Amino acid sequence: MATEIKAPQFPESVADGTVATWHKKEGEAVKRDELLVDIETDKVVLEVVAPSDGVVGKILKDEGDTVESQEVLGSLEAGSGAGGGDAKQEESKDDGKDDAKADQQKAEAKSEPADAGGGDDDAQAGPAARKMMSEHGLSAGDVKGTGRDGRITKEDVEKALANRQEKPASSSSESKAAPIPEAEPGEREERRVPMTRLRKRIAERLVSAQQNAAMLTTFNEVNMKPIMDMRKNYKDAFEKAHGVRLGFMGFFTRACVEALKRYPEVNASIDGDDVVYHGYYDVGVAVSTERGLVVPVVRDADQKGLAEVESQIIDYGQKAQKGKLSIDEMTGGTFTISNGGVFGSLMSMPILNPPQTAILGMHKIQERPMAVDGKVEILPMMYLALSYDHRLIDGKQAVQFLVTVKNFIEDPARLLLDI
């Protein structure tokens, strides 16, 4: 009996997705909850797992295909797929031609070597790799797959082509292949790859933010010495008590929340001709991943202490790198903090994260000579940037908000005393 493999139920904000990677081939045995296929949306990559033990049947949606919520991707057949006990039991229970033929095909698929050419190409290579192999007359047997389960990637094909240029063709299949022209001296190579859904979505949102908002940026600088001294004095005790390292993001999140309470326009959003004032403080924290920038949200940040904020940010960072963030964890947010300083940025103008009306940019801590009480001191300084939507936030409010954040960071005891 076959079970349908379906795409996940997408939220209302996600129209469709793209089949990114099949981790199993037709005829391959799987265990319950084992990863079958990744579905990439414009926000996250969703994993589809096996609903039960069985064998992957017909794959209906190949890599690169667009799928809608709950659309059938393929089927999962009962049995072990080993051509042994389960298959024989099915054969004896049902003398129908379809079941017997399916079992025979599975057995043949298992008996063929992994690098067989011809029809095996589709099962062994992704869409981009198959296209390149077809263009250059390669079969799966000509390419050594380094992907998961021996799957052939585009890079594997490129490597095989490079090796073929170095060695003359030795087989009849190679002699029939289209010749690869050698690069002319001084020729510059180019690679053309399609944007991922996430990258396209990021591009759309950034362009939209610049076109639809009256965006301005105000700057200030903050003396990080008080925070650094506090970390130095209490980091061991803090980590022992809470099980998490005392970082800077917790202080900045708390400082922003207190500043947002004083300037509610910075925590608001524009909806058509209406201004929506949020009575809660959901702070997004921008995280860079290999796939692009994502912004998980610390919910009700005003109700969380430093340890809770630090712990959640660390958890989000780990999930983001593994592609495990859920859509709910990245939905909403009333204000965003972006830290370009971790990459060495000294100053930048962060772009708004619609429909939010403000975003704080943190930057690299750098020692600079500063005038203090008529004397020059070397202090660890950080430039802060606040980009804001001038349609709602006036320059005075933006500057005062940023000064408030600066004051809390330079005198962190005020965060505890609420002054």
Instruction: Name 378's Cβ contacts closer than 8 Å, sequence gap at least 6.
Output: 367, 368, 369, 370
394 is catalytic: yes
DSSP 345-410: -S---PPP-TTBSEEEEE---EEEEEEETTEEEEEEEEEEEEEEETTTS-HHHHHHHHHHHHHHHH
**For residues 79 and 50, is the Cβ–Cβ distance under 8 A?**
no
**For residues 269 and 276, is the Cβ–Cβ distance under 8 A?**
yes
Distance CA(97)–CA(163), nearest Å, equals 46
Q: Which secondary structure element, helix H or strand E, spans residue 105, and what is its range?
A: helix 97-111
Q: Which two tokens stand for residue 231?
A: 């970390």
Q: Hey, which bits of 7-84 come out as E strands? A: 16-22, 29-30, 35-40, 45-49, 54-59, 66-68, 72-77
Residue 238, SS3 per DSSP: helix
Of 229, 236, 300, 390, catalytic = 390
**For 66-92, b where at least 16 C-beta lie within 10 A, e where not — what string?**
ebebebebbbbbbbbbebeebbeebee
**For residues 296 and 330, is the Cβ–Cβ distance under 8 A?**
yes
**For residues 76 and 32, is the Cβ–Cβ distance under 8 A?**
no
Distance CA(110)–CA(276), nearest Å, equals 60
Of 98, 229, 394, 411, catalytic = 394
Helix and strand numbers, DSSP H then E, in the chain? 12, 19
**For residues 296 and 287, is the Cβ–Cβ distance under 8 A?**
yes
**For residues 128 and 30, is the Cβ–Cβ distance under 8 A?**
no
363 is catalytic: no
Distance CA(36)–CA(49), nearest Å, equals 5
Q: Which secondary structure element, helix H or strand E, spans residue 310, and what is its range?
A: helix 306-322
Q: Which two tokens stand for residue 233?
A: 């004095």
Active site residues: 390, 394
